[in-house]
Amino acid sequence: MEVFELMSDMGHEQIAFCYDKVSGLKAIIAIHDTTLGPALGGTRMWNYDTEEEAIVDALRLSQGMTYKSAAMGLNLGGGKGVIIADSRKDKSEELWRAYGRFVDSLGGRYITAEDVGTSPEDLAIVAEETEFAGGLMHKSGDPSPATAYGVFVGIQAAIEHLDGSSDLTGTKVAIQGVGSVGYVLCDYLHDAGAELIVSDIYEDKVERVVRDFGAEVADPDDIYGVACDVYSPCALGAVINDTTLPQLNCRVVAGAANNQLEERHHGDALRQKGILYATDFVINGGGVTNVYHEFHPGGYSKELAYKKIAGIGGQLHRIFETSEKEDIPTHVAAERIARARIEAIGQIQRIRV
């Protein structure tokens, strides 16, 4: 693997490899672009098969964070931490504190928060060693409900774009993964009168949404082919691929998962199939926006954070319109809008103060 070549191709600034023998910590922190501000992105704890897989994940996820924060109008760059470990077995106080010290050593270039496999309780331990940790329990807390709100607003925007009304009464939404984000999303959708079809690999999670929201259930392998208005990936990335594309039977793809397109050309394929894709890094920007507001000079305000998250609807409308006007897929339109902001704000740094 040619790491510097990969960094050059993807536009990364830095990768930090962090190792602590005593706690067994093996972490990789990738900083993609700090033009707009410090690189903020959660830390993922995952049992990667290979170190190469972990590096690629950190690089891809941190790049996504740059675009996400740029598109949300936040003064943040993109970063991501990954810890190679099993989140059910390998957590310890010394591991989190060692990680916190490594985060601190970057001097604020990287700010961490929760991601898959990490919780507000874990972040509380990290925060004992560094001020550069967000999503804390006594502040904005778990970002998942904020992410779910943003996805809900994004689904409304997509339906409004197609049908002229954001009313979701009777809209069929197939949700893949009803964990921290998926469950809260089901709650919003149920309140709005949508019909839910859900899948998860854990029976208890499925039972909870059936009981609480009267959802129908699909087998995890069958969720792609469910006839619905909206397919909402809220579990894994790379779910839009050569195998799933022919199965899709929806008008919209709009969910929380990061890196939904396995390859960029799968975004083009969605467009060719006439499926409206609410670009992942825009629709799932609610969580980072919520954490960002922790660092607001006036302190965290849920009201201000959620007002900003509601803006995901307007941003998606802009992307859908750009996509149509310029005859390009929505993921390309979204990247253009994000890059334009990074370039414009980067330019003002030439003004000496």
Catalytic residues: 80
Buried b (16+ CB within 10 A) or exposed e, 280-313: bbbbbbbbbbbbbbbbeeeebeeeebbebbeebb
Site for ligand NAD in 173-232 (CB under 6 A): 176-182, 199-202, 205, 220
Q: Name residue, tokens 């980067």.
A: 346
Which helix (H) or strand (E) element contains residue 78? strand 77-84
Beta partners for residue 111, in sequence order = 40
Question: CB 351 → ligand NAD: shortest distance, Å?
Answer: 34
| Contact track, ligand NAD, 86-125, x by CB under 6 A | ------------------------------x---------
| Contact track, ligand NAD, 304-343, x by CB under 6 A | ----------------------------------------
Site for ligand NAD in 143-162 (CB under 6 A): 143-144, 147
Which is nearer to ligand NAD, 98 or 198 (by Cβ)? 198
Task: List the one residue out of 284, 259, 309, 291 whose CA is nearest residue 123.
Answer: 291
| Contact track, ligand NAD, 282-311, x by CB under 6 A | --x--x------------------------
Which is nearer to ligand NAD, 28 or 116 (by Cβ)? 116
Q: How far apart are CA 151 and CA 46, in angstroms?
A: 24
Which is nearer to ligand NAD, 291 or 319 (by Cβ)? 291
Q: How far apart are CA 184 and CA 188, in angstroms?
A: 6
Region of 11-19, 98-106, 170-178, 294-302 interacting with ligand NAD (CB under 6 A) = 170-178
Question: CB 178 → ligand NAD: shortest distance, Å?
Answer: 6
Site for ligand NAD in 224-283 (CB under 6 A): 234-237, 256-258
Report whether 181 contacts 338 (CB < 8 A): no
Question: CB 97 → ligand NAD: shortest distance, Å?
Answer: 23
Q: What is the dihedral of CA 138, 118, 73, 309, to 10 degrees?
A: -70
How far from 101 is each of 133, 184, 293, 310, CA to CA, in Å? 11, 33, 23, 35
Q: Which two tokens stand for residue 154?
A: 């994004």
By CB under 6 A, how many residues form the interface with ligand NAD? 26
Which is nearer to ligand NAD, 127 or 282 (by Cβ)? 282
- Give the residues lining the site for ligand NAD (CB under 6 A): 116, 143-144, 147, 176-182, 199-202, 205, 220, 234-237, 256-258, 284, 287
